[in-house]
A = this chain, B = another copy of it.
Amino acid sequence: MRAAALLLAVSLPLAAHAQTRESGPWWPNREWGAMDQAGASNRITPEKIVAAMRLVQTGRVYEIGQVYERGMPMGNTRDFALRLVPAIEPTGSNRVLYNDEFLAAEVGQVGTQFDGLGHIGGEVRFADGSLQRVFYNGFTSGEMNAGTGLKQLGIEHVKPIMTRGVLVDLPAYKGVQRLEGGYEVTLADVRGALQRQGIAESSITPGDAVLFRYGWAQLWSKPLEYNAGQLPGIGIEVARWLAERKVTATGGDTSTNEVSPSKGQGVIIPVHQELMMKNGIFNIENLTFEELAAERAYEFLLIATPIRFKGATGSPLRPLAIR
């Protein structure tokens, strides 16, 4: 039936609802107001950008994202189908040929990806005892979701991310090639690795991005191993520390950037909830740091700005580290 437009036309009085949301138990507070949709990208101020640019000394660029291609590691409910749509015959007196491409994919949730704030939420008990299905800043499934994309918390709200990036090289600290699947990185690990790298914890200031090397990108060309189920990663402890350090984004060289399986009975991707839903912090997945690690390049300008697909839950990305 044709009535989709009709069904979707019932709009919600957001402002009124925002007030209602004020009565909720929002975490830890609302740094940028009850209607904010940009989350921790608000921390990328002009001053922050200028300071980050000053980190560039030689102009050496590191590609820390993967190429998007057929057969790359993916969850088994996602697809990446790119097709060439070529002109068969030349056209015009100047004999032009052209090619287009058509892509059908979970474009913001395959390969190197920037998870937006509409990607992960949870069913949460509010102060009045009600259970509500909420995402960052208390936006509810009901007011966010429409068939043709998110009405709230779409990726287009994220501000450009050019900031100081800090890489935490965990295998180098642990003296291994890569961490084992299922290993939860502790805060002590993070502090030890930073110390080894000569980076003071206190130097991590609001708006920075902290990236974790687990060594997992070594498996990128082996999709079955890459996504075998057991993944090294941070847990709630480090996630809370990231929130305290007021970072803008974190990232890692696995598909989740958090330990899997999660600790706790029946718990699923709690780091995602902690970062995105509670703190508006972005998560970048399927990165690769092998080159940075080989050159002991632990501090850099990070450029990691998502594409503004209106209403998308995430974005493909070409993240760059520059020194």
A256 to B118, CA, bound (A): 33
A92-108: which residues lie under 8 A (CB-CB) from chain B?
92-108
Taking a contact as CB atoms closer than 8 A, the residue among B50, B83, B156 that contacts A83 in the complex is B83
**CB within 8 Å for A133 and B90 given contacts A50-B56, A100-B106, A255-B2:** yes
Taking a contact as CB atoms closer than 8 A, the residue among B4, B88, B120 that contacts A141 in the complex is B88
By a CB distance below 8 angstroms, the chain B residues around A311 are: 69, 82, 84, 101
Q: Are the C-beta atoms of A268 and B79 separated by less than 8 Å?
A: no
By a CB distance below 8 angstroms, the chain B residues around A314 are: 101
- Size of A's binding interface in residues, CB under 8 A: 121
Taking a contact as CB atoms closer than 8 A, the residue among B97, B101, B256 that contacts A107 in the complex is B101
A287 to chain B, nearest CB (A): 13
For residue A266, CB closer than 8 A to chain B, the reply is yes
**CB within 8 Å for A49 and B322 given contacts A86-B86, A94-B273:** yes
Copies in the complex: 4
For residue A281, CB closer than 8 A to chain B, the reply is no
Partner-binding segment picked from A147-155, A166-174, A182-190, A238-246: A147-155
For residue A129, CB closer than 8 A to chain B, the reply is no
A13-58: which residues lie under 8 A (CB-CB) from chain B?
45-50, 53, 56-58
Residues of A participating in the B interface, judged by any CB pair closer than 8 Å: 1-8, 10, 45-50, 53, 56-61, 63, 65-70, 73-79, 81-109, 115, 118-124, 133, 135, 141-142, 144-150, 156, 159-160, 162, 227, 255-257, 260, 264-270, 272-273, 283, 285, 301, 303, 305-314, 316-318, 320, 322
